[in-house]
Structure 1
Amino acid sequence: MTTATRSARPRHVLRSTLRRPSSAIAVGFIVALVFFAIAGPLVYPHDPEAQNLGNRFADVGFTHLLGTDEFGRDVASRIIQASRIAVVAPLISVGVALLIGLPLGLWAGLRRGVVDTVAGRLADTILSLPALVGALAIVAVLGPGLVNAMFAIGIIFAPGLFRVVRGATLAVAEETFVDSAVAIGSSTRRTLWVHILPNIAAPLLVQVTILMGVALLVEASLSFIGLGVQPPDASWGSMLKAAYTNQFHSPFSVVPPGIAMVLTVLAFNTIGDSIRDAVGLRRRT
């Protein structure tokens, strides 16, 4: 195995990534987000779905840390409740993209042929469409809802992921250790999953972390226009929609979900940038 290939080993890249303070903070933030998503009912200050119409648009205070919304619901509790969507939604969309783009990219990069040609043309066709417009078209067919929206986003993400995996596989497939594996009789499946996949894990991780942030933004956009998470479930996108509708009654309402979304996307992008820098650093050394 060559030096360039060894340098991209995931464990070395992750170790270098976590040494950077910014990426360590970003990872800590994502871990905290996952904790709130799992343990939300244990840490809610109030019932996030309990309405109190006599206490609409309450100011920030000790009783309601971030105030209340148009139905008198506690905003802080709903922000925590919406963290489940912020975790689950990107996982669904990126998972769908991986299921479609990863095996096709690996096969096309190693074997080329008809699969490479057909998948490449399909990827070019989907990539030529605006992502949000394509997602809207798929959601219009499947119907509104979180799972349908994230499935649509996953389909839109798959061609870009396919291109990344195919390009990385083409580079690794030229290495001597791949030729040696094929020469001693390794099957195509073993060559792909044992010899190639671990060596393209670093660029794959970069793409996945970036797509996680983009998926969150697209989910918020779909929820904002009513095609994503449906009431009474909380989503940062639907909370932004409600804040926009009631901006003259409570100008502060847009701040909590907006900050939560910005910090989460920033955390995903910081992790992706750190992994990319770690890969480049190890390849130069």
Structure 2
Amino acid sequence: MTLATKRSSAPTNPSVPRTSPAGRIVRSVLRRPSGATAAGFLIVLVILAVAGPLIYPHDPDAQDLANRFAGLSWPHPLGTDEFGRDVASRIIQAARIALAAPLISVGVALLIGLPFGLWAGLRRGIVDAVAGRLADTILSLPAMVGALAILAVLGPGLVNAMVAIGIIFAPGLFRVVRGATLAVAEETFVHSAVAIGSPTRRTLWVHILPNIAAPLLVQVTILMGVALLAEASLSFIGLGVQPPDASWGSMLKAAYTNQFDAPYSVVPPGIAMVLTVLAFNTIGDAIRDAVGLRRGR
């Protein structure tokens, strides 16, 4: 009996569910200790952001000027700031900003870069030429300078700052999506879909987008970490989150201003920011490795 006959005669079990490519990637990421740890940290961060008002040790905006720069204690696990506010409560409150800011900026970048990248990669033509030149122009500018120029028009604030960052992210995301689309557009199934008269919209969203999801997810996770750093930078110079709202960037600014009165006040927001950015980057690396392993097979 030949090998082909043995394979054809092997019993099949139709009751076993087939795992989607996305499911296999998720399982591969969670099998890695680093990926599982990063995902667990982000889940905890989401829980803190959502359930923050229920677990604050103190009101994060309540001032106690008689207890300024208090050290670590049972009532104040991370001490107090220059206004006597509980640092632990403000760290938890700022977790909302740490998640909302990247979501806003990356969402704006996807809204701009994804459809144009898909269209330019499949149809090319005038859209590809104009969008490509515009992307090159924006990419040639320093990112923070471009964000500050946009903020000069929109004004300070979290949403405006993240919209500005999203506009700066859009050209890079456009390049990633366009390059991946160019590769997938040469596949036989795409040519077949076009040959049978599939509308362009269906070809883009049904046939191409699922096949570029992996590199897109990697880019999105990387941009999430960069967006958090950008938000912290803008809040540090007073153009992001406005008082009395808490942000890790504004807390770092306060720690820098009062470094001689409370030299260790930079540690809590600094550690929170480093761990969050590291978690985003670790998830991105795990997805990239999972995709590479899957392609290698």
For residues 43 and 168 of structure 1, the distance between their equivalents in structure 2, rounded to whole angstroms, comes to: 44
Partner SS, residue 253 of structure 1: coil
| Structure 1 position 45 matched with structure 2 position 78 | no
Q: What is the TM-score normalised by the length of structure 2?
A: 0.93
| Structure 1 position 168 matched with structure 2 position 185 | no
- Measure how far apart 1:183 and its partner are: 1.4
For residues 99 and 74 of structure 1, the distance between their equivalents in structure 2, rounded to whole angstroms, comes to: 38
Matches within 5 A, 1:12-91: 12-91=24-103
Greater relative CO (CA pairs within 8 A, separation 6+):
1
Structure 2 partner of 1:269: 281
Structure 1 partner of 2:235: 223
Q: Is contact 1:93-1:150 (8 Å) kept?
A: yes
Structure 2 partner of 1:115: 127
- Measure how far apart 1:106 and its partner are: 0.3
Q: Is contact 1:23-1:271 (8 Å) kept?
A: yes
Identity of aligned residues (%): 84
| Structure 1 position 186 matched with structure 2 position 198 | yes
Of structures 1 and 2, the larger Rg is shown by: 2
For residues 79 and 213 of structure 1, the distance between their equivalents in structure 2, rounded to whole angstroms, comes to: 18
For residues 91 and 129 of structure 2, the distance between their equivalents in structure 1, rounded to whole angstroms, comes to: 45
For residues 85 and 129 of structure 1, the distance between their equivalents in structure 2, rounded to whole angstroms, comes to: 27
Structure 2 partner of 1:255: 267
Q: Is contact 1:93-1:151 (8 Å) kept?
A: yes
Structure 1 partner of 2:163: 151
Structure 1 partner of 2:3: none
Cα deviation per residue 1:81-127 (whole Å; 9 max; x = unaligned)? 00000000000000000000000000000000000000000000000
For residues 24 and 149 of structure 2, the distance between their equivalents in structure 1, rounded to whole angstroms, comes to: 41
The one-letter code sitting in structure 2 at the alignment partner of 1:262 is V
For residues 223 and 216 of structure 1, the distance between their equivalents in structure 2, rounded to whole angstroms, comes to: 11
Cα deviation per residue 1:214-260 (whole Å; 9 max; x = unaligned)? 00000000000000000000000000000000000001100000000
Partner SS, residue 218 of structure 1: helix
Gaps of 5+ in 2: 1-19
Structure 2 partner of 1:136: 148
Cα deviation per residue 1:159-217 (whole Å; 9 max; x = unaligned)? 00000000000000000111111112210000000000000000000000000000000
For residues 199 and 9 of structure 1, the distance between their equivalents in structure 2, rounded to whole angstroms, comes to: 10
For residues 127 and 206 of structure 2, the distance between their equivalents in structure 1, rounded to whole angstroms, comes to: 21
- Measure how far apart 1:16 and its partner are: 1.1
Q: What is the TM-score normalised by the length of structure 1?
A: 0.96
RMSD: 0.9
1:246 maps to which of 247, 252, 258: 258
Q: Is contact 1:247-1:253 (8 Å) kept?
A: yes
- Measure how far apart 1:154 and its partner are: 0.2
Count matched residues.
Answer: 278
- Measure how far apart 1:276 and its partner are: 0.6
1:210 maps to which of 200, 208, 222: 222
Structure 2 partner of 1:5: none
For residues 212 and 23 of structure 2, the distance between their equivalents in structure 1, rounded to whole angstroms, comes to: 12
